[in-house]
Structure 1
């Protein structure tokens, strides 16, 4: 019965979203970008995507033929075999942050990035500076907080993932593909949520990096929502940012029962060793019971891998519930 209901939900979502989004895009096209309207004069044919999670949004919509580059991959060892396969012949234009000159020389007609994801407020590459060279910049919704300095968007998959995919679908005239992708994601998340009904939320700590003051996901990071959907609770959900620093004392006081290590492609053995030997955490349940899970960077930042992360976390936090 559950399988039939899930299939019916998937079909219903697919049909309803396709009916709304199947119409072709007409240019010039106006889309919302961190609360401001931006005009896309024509369908992009030389787009550059920054960072692995954002590039994977493009790959999920099969935009490789409309991409003339990615940036910010090899400089942080983020390229996995699966990413390399999806990337195909799309070149890497810069191993870390691209310069304005790099984007201009690449003849880019769109830059898809975010604040602290390829762009910095007041830096060399910003939407305003790119506009002088007729290069529109599409900003990752989760990162708008860096520009606004206070939240304007709810921390939901709808606001911080699905909307970005649907926006790319409009920009690249892939509306139906984007609608189908989002519908399948919603069906998978609904299946997990149905199995989490009545479950206690497990307190979880996300360890990204840092030894003196660990970097973790705060209240406005999509990662916090991923944990909640998987039957957990981010112990740093009172940190008023998306990603920021906390203290080991605060982590110890919150008594996390599970720890997520963010894997940047180099493994997490050093992070695990640090946590295991940190005296402040010796009595934390997650450390005492060696309850650790490693998730790749792109699974915890907005992108298609978020749905895999929800399913993996649900299995990890509630192993008695079959997924």
Structure 2
């Protein structure tokens, strides 16, 4: 009996010691809130798995992707800004010209398609990861569903800030940090975000004392009825630049409105989005000659801002776009 008790006591001591050691190692949670990343090693750039919550999915990355494909320009430019071109085996779907700062890096990456590649072309590149700006990339007409790709061992990430109403700059930063975690380049992601924050703060400091924000109308397209920015990223950037989007109360990303509504809200600035088959010159000529707009302040004073489509997306160009908008709205603040 004494021997039995002695053995049981020793077993209990060993079990308690093991539990204490295990508790001491649990410094990092297995996962964080939606849209955040957790590295289970507790070390930036560690070799342990990274868990990401993305668009309602929990994704575990046992290692950094080595054969990534980027889809949509703002996703591609985030990858390049993080110095990940050597981890990319393909890219697709530019809106316009790649940012000049990243042209040399972009030239190293094979272009799979002008728009979304077919599933055959995509799979032919033997990717292990797909990163898309828009969820349309994961439709049956494009790459296929994220679930289907996962079944073939291909992880994926959808830019969350591009697929929500009312995205903020903080939402973009979260996406950048998630990509940094997935590829184990957390320090690069933190530096990129810090640089972007500093540029935005420099602009904000110049326009912070504006009492009455300039009224801004974003003209995307449409002659019979205008298609404009509502609660999308353009709204956020206009606000950060010290302006006010005249259709910011509409609870959707882009919206079709009426010219009567535009006239009633009398914008002081018109932002023309440069993309599509209609040129900027054609869009501007239409606006200048449309009879109903002749008494609108922006038309009378010829106050237009032209932005490429890439400048409107939830990516690394945000601070540049904020500065461009602010300089046109309040040139006296930047003299």
TM-score where L is the length of structure 1 = 0.83
Distance 1:190 1:166 in 2: 19
1:68 aligned onto 2:89? yes
Give the direction of change, closer, same or farther, for the CA distance of 1:80–1:265 in structure 2 (3 Å limit): farther
Q: Indicate the residue corresponding to 1:91 in structure 2.
A: 110
SS at match of 1:304: coil
Q: Indicate the residue corresponding to 1:10 in structure 2.
A: none
Q: Indicate the residue corresponding to 1:142 in structure 2.
A: 161
Q: Indicate the residue corresponding to 1:49 in structure 2.
A: 70
| Superimposed CA distance per residue, residues 244-296 of structure 1 (whole angstroms, 9 cap, x where no aligned partner) | 32232222222111011112388511111111122222211111111001112
Q: Indicate the residue corresponding to 1:286 in structure 2.
A: 298
Give the direction of change, closer, same or farther, for the CA distance of 1:41–1:296 in structure 2 (3 Å limit): same
Q: Indicate the residue corresponding to 1:79 in structure 2.
A: 97
1:225 aligned onto 2:243? no
Q: Indicate the residue corresponding to 1:17 in structure 2.
A: none
1:296 aligned onto 2:296? no
| Superimposed CA distance per residue, residues 110-145 of structure 1 (whole angstroms, 9 cap, x where no aligned partner) | 111143553449976231222222212211112333
Q: Indicate the residue corresponding to 2:32 in structure 1.
A: none
**1:71 touches 1:98 (CA, 8 Å); kept in 2?**
yes
| Superimposed CA distance per residue, residues 171-217 of structure 1 (whole angstroms, 9 cap, x where no aligned partner) | 11111011011111111111111221220211111112233333322
Equivalent positions of 1:157-236 (< 5 A) are 157-159=169-171, 161-199=172-210, 200-219=212-231, 221-236=232-247
1:133 aligned onto 2:133? no
Distance 1:53 1:280 in 2: 36
Question: Which structure: larger Rg?
Answer: 2
**1:100 touches 1:130 (CA, 8 Å); kept in 2?**
no
**2:73 touches 2:98 (CA, 8 Å); kept in 1?**
no
Distance 2:178 2:69 in 1: 16
TM-score where L is the length of structure 2 = 0.80
Distance 1:52 1:319 in 2: 30
SS at match of 2:209: coil
Distance 1:63 1:228 in 2: 31
Give the alignment's Cα RMSD to 1 decimal: 2.3
**1:104 touches 1:133 (CA, 8 Å); kept in 2?**
no
| Superimposed CA distance per residue, residues 224-257 of structure 1 (whole angstroms, 9 cap, x where no aligned partner) | 1100010101112122112232232222222111
Distance 1:100 1:134 in 2: 15
| Structure with bigger RCO (C-alpha 8 Å, 6+ apart) | 1
**1:99 touches 1:125 (CA, 8 Å); kept in 2?**
no
Distance 1:284 1:119 in 2: 42
Q: Indicate the residue corresponding to 2:22 in structure 1.
A: none
Q: Indicate the residue corresponding to 1:105 in structure 2.
A: 124
Distance 1:40 1:201 in 2: 45
